[in-house]
Amino acid sequence: MARPSFREQVLRAREDAILSSVNRLLAEKGFDAMTVDEVAADVGIAKASLYKHFASKEELAAAAMVQVLDRALALLAELEADSQASPLERLRAATRWTMQVQLAGEMPALPAQNSALRSALSAHRVYMERLVALSETLGSWIVAAQKAGQLDPGLPPEVILYTLFARACDPVLGLLKASGNHSDERIVEMLLSTCFDGLSGSRVPAPARSARGRAEPR
Amino acid sequence: MARPSFREQVLRAREDAILSSVNRLLAEKGFDAMTVDEVAADVGIAKASLYKHFASKEELAAAAMVQVLDRALALLAELEADSQASPLERLRAATRWTMQVQLAGEMPALPAQNSALRSALSAHRVYMERLVALSETLGSWIVAAQKAGQLDPGLPPEVILYTLFARACDPVLGLLKASGNHSDERIVEMLLSTCFDGLSGSRVPAPARSARGRAEPR
DNA sequence: GTCTATAAACTGATAGAC
DNA sequence: GTCTATCAGTTTATAGAC
């Protein structure tokens, strides 16, 4: 790219504005309920201008999701650079980040099984490439954490991976935020706890009150 | 109701058939993507006949969800009748049931935050009454399980309740089923484990391989 | 003959695409 | 701003059950 002309910079900036709006609307209402008119109104441009940037509603959503995946990949790179952190600490930090992004209203919902979006995304090269990169890094951390006994070695790694993806869009976050009874920080810490330690809670410290019959076997 | 005439029985049976179709379609595609024409075609009746039974698409969905809630309430009553079971065992059994229903493709997705369905449901007396009844029973089990040290007493009960509701619609179930690598039974048991014991796994039995630094504090 | 289901056409509104 | 498709909901005319 020889010269980043002024015009190109303007287009670039506008695209970023569009993607921010799309991500927020995608998080708020989901793909089906989000209308292109709404996006245009939110960005403050004409609907026709949107179609100068993106060929379809699906393209629009895919580009927005690629943006989020790129932010996630940048975070993973940061975490990987911290050689002090254990695999589990990295996974918890990554999960905490996704929850914070969701609370900020910037995490688009997982495309539902039969959404029109799903097939479009599977066919989207850039999106799939980012998704695979993300999965591979997370997958390596998961396997390492299992080897270190920090994650249940009885679970197939893909089950843990899918669960972490799902928790990034967990509706519980939104329900708790809507209830207004807890700070964002507390919500994140509680859900991190339920995710990694379960509803039963971590039993690590000591067999505190183990008088009664213990939990059934897994 | 003096006599359950033949005609009434037919209508009743047809309503059941309709609700079954709606629940399946609701689980498959969600409320927005489901069309009334589709429902009529699936049941094998005319669209006009549908509107003889239900005044609107929202009414249709609400009735279907009430049916599911009633099935759930019946299960809770059964579990409550078993005086042997601990609160935790009851909660696990109830959660297992919801996962099985979801795997069977009969669990409608949680209405999204901004769905047109959400406000309709909040205004639906019967639906709300069932939902409250369900929440109260589950809530009492949750509090009892916390008192018995079977569930993390540091979590507000509503956090646990919301989490159990969310797990009934957990997209991880569908992802794992689609991957085809595990039997339905195994999927349910794994997700029950991640729900109650967390991704780290139950640490109850013994401090097996605790050589390395232990999990960070909650 | 009366009641009911059905198919099919139609309306109005909305949304994607250009 | 226009075009077209889709969908919720209604209406009408026809056919069949009792």
Question: What's the rounded Cα separation, in Å, for the pair B202 and A152?
Answer: 8
Where are chain A's structural domains? 57-197
Distance from the A48 Cα atom to the nearest Cα atom in chain B, whole angstroms = 26
pLDDT digit string, tens, across residues B195-211: 999 999 876 554 444 44
Q: Which class in CATH covers the domain with range B8-196?
A: mainly alpha
| Average pLDDT for A202-208 | 55
Residue with tokens 């859900």: A191
pLDDT at A109: 84
Nearest to B99 by CA among B194, B203, B204: B194
pLDDT at B143: 98
pLDDT digit string, tens, across residues B123-176: 999 999 999 999 999 999 999 999 999 999 999 999 999 999 999 999 999 999
Question: Which nt is closest to the CA of B35, judged by C1'?
Answer: D7
Residue with smallest Cα–C1' gap to C5:
B49
Looking at the domain A57-197, which fold is it? Tetracycline Repressor; domain 2 (1.10.357)
Question: What's the rounded Cα separation, in Å, for the pair A55 and A69?
Answer: 21
pLDDT digit string, tens, across residues B63-120: 999 999 999 999 999 999 999 999 999 999 999 999 999 999 999 988 777 777 888 8
Across the A/B interface, how many CB contacts are shorter than 8 Å?
206
- Is the pLDDT higher at B122 or at B5? B122
Helix intervals (H) in chain B:
6-33, 36-43, 47-53, 57-81, 87-103, 116-122, 125-147, 157-167, 171-179, 184-196
Residue with tokens 């997700």: B191
Residue with smallest Cα–C1' gap to C15:
A35
Task: Please count the other Cβ atoms lying within 10 Å of the Cβ belonging to residue A113.
Answer: 16
Distance from the A203 Cα atom to the nearest Cα atom in chain B, whole angstroms = 6
Question: What's the rounded Cα separation, in Å, for the pair B27 and A35?
Answer: 23
Query: Residue A152 in 3-state DSSP?
Result: coil
User: Are the C-beta atoms of B103 and B184 separated by less than 8 Å?
Assistant: yes
Chain D: bases < 7 Å from a protein Cβ: 1, 6-12
pLDDT digit string, tens, across residues A78-119: 999 999 999 999 999 999 999 999 999 999 988 777 777 888
Question: What's the rounded Cα separation, in Å, for the pair B150 and B157?
Answer: 13
Average pLDDT, chain A: 88
Residue A210 pLDDT level (bands cut at 50, 70, 90): very low
User: Are the C-beta atoms of A126 and A132 separated by less than 8 Å?
Assistant: no
Return the structure tokens found at A140: 């390596």
